């Protein structure tokens, strides 16, 4: 792809380097060490904290030495998703980048522009000898995607700046000034297993072909959840007179990714296979109509399984598991009564697996209203408890309450209008950002979140618009000049 914007070339050059380094959530040691080495190689002051958050200090340029410190903030980790046919090993393989119609994407995996683009842009700006700016602090946090661990571990005073530009938003020309809070819940419910019944054979039922996506940004689109589709397929089979027993069930990969694929290892009679295929074909047709253009490729299949399970669930535990999969809420729970078209509260039915004879379920709740977040979390915990299991919720993270009187916002809006002759969009989002936590830990922070156009994060369709990278660069470069 021919890229004319020279600064965009610099950003992508650093993004290419970042994409060579493994950085799945909770496995960020290599990328953090690389960033520390990069800072030292360029004679920047650098420090890390106990969880390996990286802070790089860049001196102001001539004439800007005494300007306010500006914090560029992003997270080092990425959601590691791949297509079923991909052989990519996230622990060692570089992300394979490719260009398609003006977009940068990856080959069979998530791209990691969420939030590698933030790192690359901040690094390129720090090295740009032509860019006037005050002192900069590059704050790169760990483990944002699985619970904002890095932001939660920040100590007050770790950063000195009071102006923060978060580079984790996903629409150029949009200034984000608030976001939802969130909390995850783990539910574990014991099940009864028995020796496999005589005359039954093992089959693998798969629900696949769904798009998935970000559980905050995409939750209102109505995409299919592979765990719910799998449960509904099993209901259709049992309603059709098929006696099935679950030996294993698995689906979902991350708390903030809508599940795209799932499967169940089932024991059923060989003579029921033909009927099962008929039922699944009808269910698949119904699902494709139901989800229309949003998820048109919902696919159900059942084939002989080579996996060896000595036991499967009793009939009662099989029914209980299916009913649980139907019971957990997925999708929008409430829309905001204050901001038009904003999802206020939602839940992502994120993961299911069997371990130690227990069905283990992970859900991820979000809300911009703390009391609604607590209420939805309590309901989910109640399902686990009344089912004879346990439920444990994490501490979560607070919502970022918008400050419409922000001086940084006012300056940014005026500048954007001057540069592009149009008003930027100011929004509050349902996804989680680290700004709320950082603001809680550092009094007096003035913050906005921006970024280039990024589509389909947290899944293999993720892509970033190349032209938008340059527009964000140009805007931030001008903003830095005005923050003197």
Domains of the chain, earliest start first: 6-180+399-482 (3.40.630.10), 183-393 (3.30.70.360)
Q: What are phi and psi of 287, to 5 degrees?
A: -65, -40
Q: Which two tokens stand for residue 184?
A: 């995850």
pLDDT in tens, the chain (484 residues): 789 899 999 999 999 999 999 999 999 999 999 999 999 999 999 999 999 999 999 999 999 999 999 999 999 999 999 998 999 999 999 999 999 999 999 999 999 999 999 999 999 999 999 999 999 999 999 999 987 899 999 999 999 999 999 999 999 999 999 999 999 999 999 999 999 888 999 999 999 999 999 999 999 999 999 999 999 999 999 999 999 999 999 999 989 999 999 999 999 999 999 999 999 999 999 999 999 999 999 999 999 998 889 899 999 999 999 999 999 999 999 999 988 899 999 999 999 999 999 999 999 999 999 999 999 999 999 999 999 999 999 988 889 989 999 999 999 999 999 999 999 999 999 988 999 999 989 999 999 999 999 999 988 999 999 999 999 999 999 999 999 8
Among 329, 325, 328, 376, which Cα is nearest to 353's?
A: 325
Check if 77 is active-site.
yes
Half-sphere exposure of 245 (CA within 13 A, CB side): 24
248 pairs with which residues across the strands? 265
In angstroms, the CA 439 to CA 164 distance is 9
In angstroms, the CA 101 to CA 116 distance is 21
Among 324, 193, 299, 283, which Cα is nearest to 246's?
A: 193
In angstroms, the CA 251 to CA 352 distance is 5
- Backbone region of residue 446 per phi and psi (left: phi > 0; alpha: psi in -120 to 50; beta: other values): beta
The residue from 114, 137, 144, 261 that is catalytic is 144
The residue from 10, 77, 295, 427 that is catalytic is 77
Burial of 158 (0-12, 13-18, 19+ CB in 10 A): middle
Check if 184 is active-site.
no
pLDDT attached to residue 329: 94
pLDDT attached to residue 80: 95
In angstroms, the CA 140 to CA 51 distance is 11
390 pairs with which residues across the strands? 188
Among 402, 459, 410, 412, which Cα is nearest to 433's?
A: 402
pLDDT attached to residue 396: 86
């Amino acid at each position: 792809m021919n890229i004319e914007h020279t600064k965009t070339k610099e950003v992508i050059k650093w993004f290419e380097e970042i994409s060579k380094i493994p950085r799945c959530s909770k496995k960020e040691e290599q990328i953090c060490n690389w960033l520390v080495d990069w800072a030292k190689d360029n004679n920047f002051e650098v420090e890390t904290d106990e969880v390996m958050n990286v802070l790089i200090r860049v001196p102001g340029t001539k004439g800007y030495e005494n300007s306010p410190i500006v914090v560029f903030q992003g997270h080092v980790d990425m959601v590691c998703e791949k297509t079923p046919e991909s052989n990519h090993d996230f622990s060692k393989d570089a992300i394979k980048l490719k260009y398609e119609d003006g977009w940068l994407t990856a080959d069979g995996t998530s791209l990691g522009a969420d939030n590698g683009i933030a790192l690359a842009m901040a690094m390129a700006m720090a090295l740009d000898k032509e860019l006037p700016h005050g002192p900069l602090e590059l704050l790169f946090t760990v483990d944002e995607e699985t619970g904002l661990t890095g932001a939660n571990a920040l100590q007050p005073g770790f950063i000195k700046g009071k102006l923060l530009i978060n580079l984790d938003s996903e629409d150029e020309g949009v200034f984000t000034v608030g976001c939802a809070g969130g909390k995850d819940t783990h539910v574990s419910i014991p099940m009864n297993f028995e020796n496999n019944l005589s005359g039954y054979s093992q089959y693998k039922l798969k629900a696949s072909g769904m798009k998935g996506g970000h559980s905050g940004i995409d939750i209102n689109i109505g995409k299919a959840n592979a765990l719910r589709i799998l449960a509904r397929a099993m209901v259709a089979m049992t309603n059709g007179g098929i006696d099935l027993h679950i030996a294993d069930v698995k689906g979902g990969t991350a708390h903030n990714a809508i599940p795209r694929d799932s499967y169940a290892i089932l024991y059923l009679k060989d003579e029921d296979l033909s009927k099962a295929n008929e039922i699944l074909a009808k269910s698949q047709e119904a699902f494709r109509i139901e989800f229309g253009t949003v998820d048109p490729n919902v696919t159900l299949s059942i084939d002989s399984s080579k996996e060896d399970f000595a036991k499967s669930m009793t009939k009662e535990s099989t029914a209980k598991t299916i009913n649980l999969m139907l019971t957990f809420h997925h999708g929008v729970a409430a829309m905001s009564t204050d901001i038009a078209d904003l999802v206020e509260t939602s839940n992502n039915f994120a993961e299911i697996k069997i371990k130690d004879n227990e069905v283990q379920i992970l859900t991820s709740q979000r809300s911009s209203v703390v009391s609604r977040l607590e209420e939805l979390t309590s309901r989910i915990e109640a399902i686990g408890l009344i089912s004879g299991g346990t439920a444990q919720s994490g501490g979560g993270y607070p919502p970022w309450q918008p400050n419409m009187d922000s001086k940084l916002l006012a300056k940014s809006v005026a500048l954007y209008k001057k540069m592009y002759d149009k008003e930027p969009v100011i929004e509050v989002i349902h996804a989680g950002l680290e700004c709320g936590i950082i603001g809680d830990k550092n009094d007096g922070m003035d913050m906005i979140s921006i970024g280039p156009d990024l589509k389909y994060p947290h899944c293999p369709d993720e892509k970033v618009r190349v032209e938008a990278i340059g527009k964000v660069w140009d805007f931030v470069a001008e903003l830095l000049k005005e923050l003197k």
